[in-house]
């Protein structure tokens, strides 16, 4: 079967996906080892029996809802190819807004940044790749996630980043940073979205937080000042309906210059605050 004939059939099997054609192309690229632009340019190429059998199995997995990133083991974030696994969240485009906001505050040649709940290391690695003069530390309470982040750092040859196991600030002792970023669990346990889409396959420990999704955000805000240098910044990604409450949490924790940034869809997504001198 030719690529041009296979793609519409595969996309039709993924009718419940929000991006059926894209998903099919990514799986096709994974199996053939060819880029998506090549596949489009040479779509008269015939797929052999082994490739078709493998693709049939992968399409079946995707049709059941399994995320493409878990099937291929790879996800691109900030133009970085990251290994992913079911022990971590899948990096999402909206989280790049957190990176953009953080880079605005990393405006000195050197400094130290901390990424809490680093998962795949996506945020830490993006920051370290853009600011080679900074030292970036990523922390996660899941040992396997730390190993995965370390693998990603080594594979990408990003040397100004390190990853540590620990629960929030426990891994860094009395160290202080110029910037702290985090994409913590912020979904309420009763949120209907937990039963939909890719999140059904992602670790609940990285998604769900008590107190209507705000417990971890509040914990981080209350302890961040002790780990920030004077005029240091805390940036938190949160749910699109949580901005008002997150701003109040930062104000109550003593932060100043509190402001929320919007994601690519126009939703309030990242709230930042500066620690008082």
SS (H, E, C) 184-242: CCCECCCCHHHHCHHHHHCCHHHCECHHHHCHHHHHHHHHHHHHEEEEEEEEEECCCCC
Is 265 marked as binding a ligand? no
Q: Is 121 annotated as a binding-site member? A: yes
Q: Is 165 annotated as a binding residue?
A: no
Q: List the one residue out of 172, 162, 182 whose CA is nearest residue 233.
A: 182
User: Is 33 one of the annotated binding-site residues?
Assistant: no
Q: Is 173 annotated as a binding residue?
A: no
State yes or no: 65 annotated in a binding site.
Answer: no
- Any known ligand binding at 213? no
Q: Is 273 annotated as a binding residue?
A: no
Distance separating alpha carbons of residues 194 and 35, to the nearest angstrom: 33
How far is residue 172 from each of residues 84, 88, 112, 120, 254, measured CA to CA in Å? 25, 21, 12, 19, 22
The rounded distance, in Å, linking the Cα atoms of 74 and 85 is 8
Asked whether residue 138 is marked as a ligand-binding residue, the answer is no
183 annotated as belonging to a binding site for a ligand: yes
Which helix (H) or strand (E) segment holds residue 68: the answer is helix 68-72
Cα 32-36-39 angle, rounded to 5 deg: 65
- Say how many Å lie between the first and final Cα of the chain, rounded: 67
The reply, when asked if residue 120 is annotated as ligand binding, is yes
Binding-site sequence positions for substrate? 183-186
Binding-site sequence positions for S-adenosyl-L-methionine? 117-121, 140, 168, 183
Binding-site sequence positions? 117-121, 140, 168, 183-186
């Amino acid at each position: 079967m030719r690529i041009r004939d296979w793609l519409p059939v595969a996309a039709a099997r993924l009718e419940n996906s929000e991006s059926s054609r894209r998903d099919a192309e990514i799986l096709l690229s994974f199996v053939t080892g060819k880029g998506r632009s090549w596949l489009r340019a040479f779509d008269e190429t015939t797929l052999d029996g082994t490739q078709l059998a493998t693709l049939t199995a992968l399409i079946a997995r995707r049709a059941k809802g399994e995320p493409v990133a878990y099937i291929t083991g790879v996800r691109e974030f900030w133009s970085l190819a990251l290994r992913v696994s079911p022990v971590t969240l899948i990096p999402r485009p909206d989280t790049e807004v957190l990176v953009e906001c953080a880079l605005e505050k990393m405006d000195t040649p050197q400094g130290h940044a901390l990424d809490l709940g680093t998962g795949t290391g996506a945020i830490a690695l993006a920051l370290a790749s853009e600011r080679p003069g900074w030292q970036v530390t990523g922390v996660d309470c899941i040992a396997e996630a730390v190993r995965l982040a370390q693998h990603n750092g080594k594979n990408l040859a990003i040397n100004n980043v390190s990853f540590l196991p620990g629960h929030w600030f426990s891994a860094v002792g009395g160290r202080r940073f110029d910037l702290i970023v985090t994409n913590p669990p912020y979904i309420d346990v009763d949120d209907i979205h937990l039963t939909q889409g890719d999140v059904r396959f992602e670790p609940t420990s990285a998604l769900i937080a008590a107190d209507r999704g705000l417990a971890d955000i509040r914990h981080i805000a209350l302890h961040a000042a002790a780990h920030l240098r004077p005029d240091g910044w805390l940036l938190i990604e949160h749910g699109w309906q949580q901005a008002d409450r997150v701003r109040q949490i930062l104000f109550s924790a003593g932060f100043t210059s509190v402001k929320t940034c919007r994601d690519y869809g126009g939703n309030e997504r990242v709230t930042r605050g500066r620690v008082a001198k």
